[in-house]
Each structure stands twice: as C-alpha cells, then as structure tokens.
Amino acid sequence: MRHAMIMAGGSGTRLWPMSRGETPKQLIGLFDGKSLLEIAAVRLDGIVATEQQWVCTNQIHQEIICEKLGLPTSQLLGEPEPRDTLNAVAFTAAALLKQDPDAIFAVLTADHIIRPQDEFAKCLDIGFSLVEENVARFVTFGITPTFPATGYGYVELGETICDGARICKRFVEKPDKQTAEEYIASGNFAWNSGMFIFHAGSFLSALERLQPKSYAAIKRIADAWGTDKQQSVLNEVYPSLPKISVDYGMMEPASSDDAITLCTVPMAVQWLDVGSWPSYGDTIKADSNGNKSDTKSLHLDSNNVLCVSSDKSHTITTIGCEDLVIVHTDDATLVFPASEAQRVKEMHGLVDDDLR
C-alpha cells in the first residue's frame, strides 16, 4: 500500500525570530496564513489517501500539527528528540511495517515550495510504480537544475530505466562553483531534493547491513510498537540513536550495495527551499526597485530590501537602504545585510532562552 511521510522535525533557526522552539519554520503561517507543513500536506491530495499520510515530528509539536492538518494522533510519529533524517525514516519504516507488510512510503519534506502540482504528482506516481515493480529499488527525486548551485547536493544520472526514471549512479556533496558548472554542462546531474520512496521492509534490511547500530535500536522500538511499552521504549531508545542523515547514512553507501538499485525520477519543477529569509523573499513579488514585503512598507531611495512582519498591520519604512533584510515580531526585530543570512543561526544561539 502507498503511504507518505512528511518530515517536520526541523528547528528552522535561520528563520529566527519568527521560527521559535514551539513554532518552528514549518509551522509558521508565512503564506497567506498557511504554513509550509500545510502546503506540503495539500500536495498529497489525490496522490496518497489521507489515512496513509504520516508526519514525523518532535513530540512537543504533535498537538499543534494535529490541529493544523486535521490528522489523528495515531498518524503522527513523535520523536522524543531530533536525531537527524536517517532515524526519522527508519522510525517510520518500522512503524509502518508493523501494520502493513507491503508498505511503500514516500519521504517528503515540510520546507519546500514545489510547483506545478501536476508535475509533482506525476513524478511521485512514477516513483511509487518503480518500487511496486521491484522492492529492492530505492527512489530519489532529482530536481532539474536551473543554475550551478553550490548550496545543494547532487545526484548523477545513469541509464534510462523507463520513461521518467533513470539509474542513480551516485550522490555527491555540495560542489564548488566550477564543479557545479561542469555538472550542469554535462546534463547528467540533478539537485538532490531530499525526497525518496522506499519499501519499508527493504529499507530496514538495508539499515541492518549498512548501519547495524542504528538498526539494533530501531528494532527495539519496533518490537515494542503497538504494545503498552511503546512510549517508554521509544523515549528510552530514540535519544541514543546515532545522529546521521539519510543521505550520508543510507543513500551514499547504498550506491555500492549489490542488493539495492538506486533510481532517480527527475522533476522539472520550480523547487524552492525556504531555509532562510532571502529564500523566503524569493516567494514575494518585488517592486521596481527590488524591494519586497509581506506587510505594509514604504521605501525612500532604498533598493533590494526585504520586509517581513508577523503583524500585517505594522508598517516598516526605510531610507537609503541597500540589500537589507528586516524581520519584525511582537518581541524581537532582526536587521541584517542579505549577504549575512547564514549568520541568523549564529544570532539565534546568542539570544535569551525566552526568545528561542
């Protein structure tokens, strides 16, 4: 049976001060009142039945996610603490396999804008079909690159499997600019989207071979799942899991595992990773001077200024500013040059606990 799991465990520190511990970036209503998580869930309409949709998130966010998505708590997989993406996927595989021995599940993200919807749906269907035909296939989705990005990982594409799918030869880390340009020129590389499709049983078998320490802990959780010890074992074992990403811990070693066939479904979509304030600005239409705002704003001789406010009645004004980002909330205001966006995470680490 087809399932889908949305990973929603990120903290989103680069979107501080709106992103906080209780309301991380995937839960903020940045898009006409809708959050990235709600948008991700809507993308599944008509693709995967609501009863087979799951969210893996921090336990402290379960209640608010249930309210936002209208899902029962039984469809939320609550992590006692974040242990990176390999464990979120393995946890999901173990939970699904307990109830559905034929479970095939998509691993999706809660921090992207993906358009158009029909192309996304078509590619997801191709991915599910590939695994339904052969459960030894691990499917990744590669975004057709539009420029030589150095901030994304890449997948190298091999021979064609069928219309819309190719062998995945390898995963590569974030390249330098020259290497990224060579990738684009070759036509055989795509951005690594961080989205996958697995057969639950096959994933856990691979985990046992490739990450035996993680597998041993996940098996303890699986053995207790559905019993009266489910929560106590989860709370005890999960924080001890080695913290590792699914790319590094599974997909990279899987490329040389004879029991696994890596496949890539290229996605010709607009794919925006909303991981920083400038990337959020990419979703807002600019005025003639490049200024963007999701609230009331007025600019005098300013260019390329991004204004964001949690209070849409609040007015932000600037005079003679260039390439600036201004983020206003009820209890904190952040101002920085757009070129320093990556340092917002550093600032988050400096503020008082009350502001985190």
Q: How confident is the model at residue 23 (pLDDT cuts 50, 70, 90)?
A: confident
What is the model's pLDDT at position 355? 85
Mean pLDDT of 73-78: 95
What is the model's pLDDT at position 173? 86
Q: How confident is the model at residue 356 (pLDDT cuts 50, 70, 90)?
A: confident
Cis upstream peptide for 212 (omega within 30°): no
Mean pLDDT score across all residues of the chain: 95
What is the model's pLDDT at position 189? 96
Q: What is the pLDDT of residues 156-215, one digit of tens each?
A: 999 999 999 999 999 988 899 999 999 999 999 999 999 999 999 999 999 999 999 999
DSSP string, 137-195: EEEEEEE--SS--SSS-EEEEEEEEETTEEEEEEEE----HHHHHHHHHHT-EEEEEEE
What is the model's pLDDT at position 334? 98
The secondary element (H helix, E strand) that includes residue 131 is helix 117-133
Q: How confident is the model at residue 284 (pLDDT cuts 50, 70, 90)?
A: very high
Residue 219 sits at φ, ψ, to 5 deg, of: -65, -35
Q: How confident is the model at residue 275 (pLDDT cuts 50, 70, 90)?
A: confident
CATH superfamily of the 2-273 domain:
Spore Coat Polysaccharide Biosynthesis Protein SpsA; Chain A (3.90.550.10)
Q: How confident is the model at residue 323 (pLDDT cuts 50, 70, 90)?
A: very high
Number of H helices, E strands in the chain: 12, 17
For the full predicted model, state whether its pTM sits above 0.75: yes
pLDDT over threshold 80, residue 354: no
**Long-range contacts of range 65-69, CB-CB < 8 Å, 24 or more positions apart?**
65/8, 65/27, 65/37, 68/27, 68/35, 68/37, 68/38, 69/37, 69/38, 69/41
Q: What percentage of the chain exceeds 90 in pLDDT? A: 90
Mean pLDDT of 232-247: 96
Cα distance between residue 324 and residue 321, in whole Å:
7
Cα distance between residue 2 and residue 49, in whole Å:
8
Cα distance between residue 25 and residue 16, in whole Å:
8
What is the model's pLDDT at position 83? 94
> Is-contact 226 234, C-beta < 8 A?
no
Ranges of CATH 3.90.550.10 domains, the chain = 2-273
Give which of 17, 56, 34, 51 is closest to 113, Cα–Cα.
34
Cα distance between residue 174 and residue 320, in whole Å:
36
Cα distance between residue 167 and residue 145, in whole Å:
18
